[in-house]
Amino acid sequence: MKRHQLSYLQSWKNSQSRKPLIIRGARQVGKTWLMKEFGSKEYENTAYVNLESNATLRAVFTGDFDINRILTAIRIETGETVAPGKTLLILDEIQEAPAALTSLKYFYENAPEYHVIAAGSLLGVALNANTSFPVGKVDFIDLYPFSFIEFLEAVNEKALADLLKSHDWTLINSFADRYIDWLKQYYYVGGMPEVVGTFASRKDFDEIRAIQKRILTAYEQDFSKHAPNEIVPRIRMLWNSIPAQLAKENRKFIYGLLRQGARAKDYELAMSWLIDCGLIHKVNNVSKPAIPLKAYEDFQVFKLFLVDIGLLAAMTDLDVKTLLEGNDIFEEFKGALTEQYVLQQLITGLDAGVYYWSPNNVRSEIDFLIQVAGQVIPIEVKAAENLQAKSLKVYTDKFSPSTALRASMSTYRKKTWLTNLPLYAISELAAVLN
């Protein structure tokens, strides 16, 4: 399997201004695999250190920040040479050794010739725990579950993936049924690497669901293991409420669904913890769809989404037959899954914040807003081939955006005021906007 972030890592390796790199992402999205795969392809050797399991090297970093001393210890412990430009040094689970995070500053300042990559599943939590962090001395990338394009490539449908990238819409439209069939399977499988790998080799939906349930159990165990004891019950309550929150017609997060009388201040820390772990995504409403969108965020009105669409399907025990063949009583939650899917593809493929617009006392909600090249782009999401775009029409009549997008199961088509982008082609949104 291939991850698209490998191309970024290759650019990082060859950069004249390279800094130590930190890969952020939720547990089990493939950070360790990505680092090791990159090392095996691009370097003569890799020196891999897991700071969660290696107490000896954790202790080494707490001494001082003499890079030669640290490298000597790593050579002894790993049995690998560590040569400038020829060895990739990997510091995995770096959140378990706060001093190792601090050491990245000294690698950058005193030994920039060494190529260092670090990663950690709970890194966001560590960075908020009074860790001395090397501000300005490191680069970051975020790793998410497999996008739909990566999924197609993993299941040996590279030709379909390449066709999407070609933007030959006439030919793409000819294969719409194939794309839709794979998209429905992606809704069930999702993008967690272990799940995708199992599906690519065996296509056993029962085994896939068992793996997803195991991942969800591991996440819940992390709550107890790593979060402050006093907020663990609230983390669980908030986490388990997300499917019900998304099942509502407007998806807006309501604290009252957690328990009667629940207040925002009671759950702020729990929500921040889940966000910092990369397990949920918070999409804020904007009071006004204007540039810059971030200046108009309403932090009190928001939607919460999970890290992965397959895990959302697993949390709700959604069976594969319903997803692949449809069911009249499934229609409403299908909208929630589709919004989850679109959000996932947007944050994976765009270097831009994602918001939504839900004005007071007006039913015309815009599912997502993004800011690209000085433009605010409204996106209305339709779970089926519904070609109506009532909310989008109200929005365009009021704000006259240069481009308005509807994402649906219908084929690509462009009108004077509206572009319909197939859900399976949402990865090509940036190219369509250009």
Buried b (16+ CB within 10 A) or exposed e, 218-228: ebeebbeeebe
Q: Measured between alpha carbons, how far is 98 from 48 in angstroms, rounded to an integer? A: 18
Q: Measured between alpha carbons, how far is 339 from 341 in angstroms, rounded to an integer? A: 5
Fold held by 5-142 = Rossmann fold (3.40.50)
In sequence order, the 6+-apart residues with CB closer than 8 A to the CB of 164 are 149, 152, 172, 179, 424, 425, 427, 428
Q: Measured between alpha carbons, how far is 269 from 248 in angstroms, rounded to an integer? A: 24
CA angle 267, 273, 219 (to 5 degrees): 110
Q: Measured between alpha carbons, how far is 270 from 196 in angstroms, rounded to an integer? A: 29
φ/ψ of 140, rounded to 5, equals -125, 145
Can you give the residue ranges of every domain in the chain? 5-142, 148-433
Per-residue pLDDT of the chain (434 residues; tens, 9 = 90+): 889 999 999 999 999 999 999 999 999 999 999 999 999 999 999 999 999 999 999 999 987 899 999 999 999 999 999 999 999 999 999 989 989 999 999 999 999 999 999 998 887 676 656 566 777 899 999 999 999 999 999 999 999 999 999 999 999 999 999 999 999 999 999 999 999 999 999 999 999 999 999 999 999 999 999 899 999 999 999 999 999 999 988 899 999 999 888 899 999 999 999 999 999 999 999 999 999 999 999 999 999 999 999 999 999 999 999 888 876 656 778 899 999 999 999 999 887 899 999 987 667 899 999 999 889 999 999 988 866 778 898 899 899 998 999 999 999 999 888 899 999 999 999 888 87
